[in-house]
């Protein structure tokens, strides 16, 4: 073995790499946990927004039906403008 190879293979450096790998693995696990929490919160918000959109859609449908009824009622009535002109 050459001098450079023995420096790379020294136990202190190997333990340093192993320790650094464990630290990185811990950071990775923490990030994945945080990501899962954010995704869980995101799914909750999406569900609430979906419920709100369904409520707005139902309200809009009801309003449209009432507007159609009002239009039909107005069309049944005689035009007032005809009487005032002549």
pLDDT tens digits along 59-68: 999 999 999 9
Question: For position 50, what pLDDT does the model report?
Answer: 96
Question: For position 80, what pLDDT does the model report?
Answer: 76
Question: For position 28, what pLDDT does the model report?
Answer: 98
Q: 70 to each of 37, 58, 77, how far by Cα in Å? A: 50, 19, 11
How far is 54 from 51, CA to CA, in rounded Å? 5
pLDDT tens column, 8-39: 678 888 898 999 999 999 999 999 999 999 99
pTM above 0.75, yes or no: no
């Amino acid at each position: 073995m050459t001098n450079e190879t023995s420096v790379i293979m020294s136990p202190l450096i190997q333990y340093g790499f192993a320790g650094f790998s464990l630290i990185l693995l811990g950071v990775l696990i923490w990030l994945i946990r945080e990501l899962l929490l954010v995704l869980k919160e995101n799914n909750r918000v999406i569900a609430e927004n979906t419920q709100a959109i369904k409520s707005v859609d139902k309200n809009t449908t009801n309003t449209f039906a009432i507007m159609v009824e009002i239009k039909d009622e107005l069309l049944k009535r005689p035009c007032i403008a005809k009487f005032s002109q002549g």
